[in-house]
Amino acid sequence: MRVEDLTVSFAGRDEPGRRTGQRANVLEGVGFTLAIGAIVGLVGESGCGKSVTAMSILRLLPSPPSRVERGRVLFEGVDLLTLDEGAMRDMRGNRVGMIFQEPMTSLNPTFTVGWQIDEALRLHTPLGRKERHQRCLELLRLVGIGAPERRLAQYPHELSGGLRQRIMIAMALACEPRLLVADEPTTALDVTIQAQILDLLAGIRERLGMAILLITHDLGVVAEYCDEVVVMYAGRVIETAPVRPLFANPRHPYTAGLLASMPKLDGGRGMLPTIPGMVPSPGSRPVGCPFTDRCPNALPRCRTEMPPLEIGPDRHAFACWNPVR
């Protein structure tokens, strides 16, 4: 998949229920590539645009108030943004799967998990009822769920958080997609279950040869599982590189700040470094670099000009006028 210059705006609101004529760009020129079988980590603070990017790729944002201003999302040569709704519906859950952040709100509480896994098979495959049932059992075994016959008959509220997340993965993998978008798939799970889920995704990637776009806050997870990293800030991609070069030599001050804030085993008991300030809202971003007010390396030029994202050695690209040396 190749995302090129993706720019998405939202209509502003003056008061509850009333839209204004003004629009604010939530994503601004987002671009990155995802190779066959690769795992790319999309990282950044809350509010940086990671989930909006994922939802825009699958065209799940309501329109209005959202609108794609420009850009392309090329998946196996097809621009997803130009497909009609019927063709896009055929794409979702079939060739492109998605794991949402919170399984308790993503699963329908009024249907059994078996019915919900079976739904994708009914929509996208010619399998008969018995074949679909066997496929559902296979999927539960694939994601490490024991007693699959009993689990298929249960409702989401009868399962633990870890089991619900595995059900979501089974649903996303039902049609063996070429691309899996995982939006913080381990949110609200304990550390042991997190590791099991991530190991499961990595193993399935190896088995099926699919690519994974992994959205996460956890840079430790990125270092362990991802091949490349895309760092977002205020709706823009501000740095991208293979994992090793980025962790060894971050060039953008924001990336360096994120890495410095990670707990370290030999870090003693002192306070962790933090990045002061907050991510600017879409309607109040500065003309130049949006990180200027929080940046220790800011120059006068940073307030008036947005630096371009330029690719250097080792496919390492960053958008900064005064990078970390």
In 3-state terms, what secondary structure has residue 40?
Answer: strand
10 Å CB burial of residue 289 (0-12, 13-18, 19+) is buried
Which structure tokens are listed for 153? 């008959």
In this prediction, residues 284-298 reach a mean pLDDT of: 91
The CA-based dihedral angle spanning residues 317, 320, 324, 325, taken in that order and rounded to the nearest 10 degrees: 70
Peptide linkage before 307 cis (omega within 30 of 0): no
Q: With 60 as the cut, is the pLDDT of residue 125 above it?
A: yes
pLDDT band at 193 (very low <50, low <70, confident <90, very high): confident
Q: With 70 as the cut, is the pLDDT of residue 295 above it?
A: yes
In this prediction, residues 35-60 reach a mean pLDDT of: 93
83-101 pLDDT per residue, tens: 999 999 999 988 999 988 7
How far apart, in whole angstroms, are the C-alpha atoms of residue 147 and residue 36? 33
pLDDT value of position 13: 65
For the chain, how far is it from start to end, CA to CA, in angstroms? Answer: 32
Residue 53, φ and ψ in degrees, nearest 5: -60, -45
Q: With 80 as the cut, is the pLDDT of residue 103 above it?
A: no
Q: With 70 as the cut, is the pLDDT of residue 191 above it?
A: yes
pLDDT value of position 265: 67
pLDDT value of position 16: 59
Q: With 90 as the cut, is the pLDDT of residue 325 above it?
A: no
153-166 pLDDT per residue, tens: 999 999 988 888 88
Q: With 80 as the cut, is the pLDDT of residue 124 above it?
A: yes
Across 6-10, 99-103, 164-168, least confident range: 99-103
pLDDT band at 269 (very low <50, low <70, confident <90, very high): low
CB 297 within 8 Å of CB 252? no
pTM equals 0.90
Residue located via tokens 């795992």: 39
pLDDT value of position 109: 92
In this prediction, residues 180-196 reach a mean pLDDT of: 82
Across 92-96, 168-172, 193-197, 301-305, least confident range: 193-197
pLDDT value of position 192: 80
For 136, what's the count of Cα atoms within 13 Å in the CB-facing half-sphere?
26
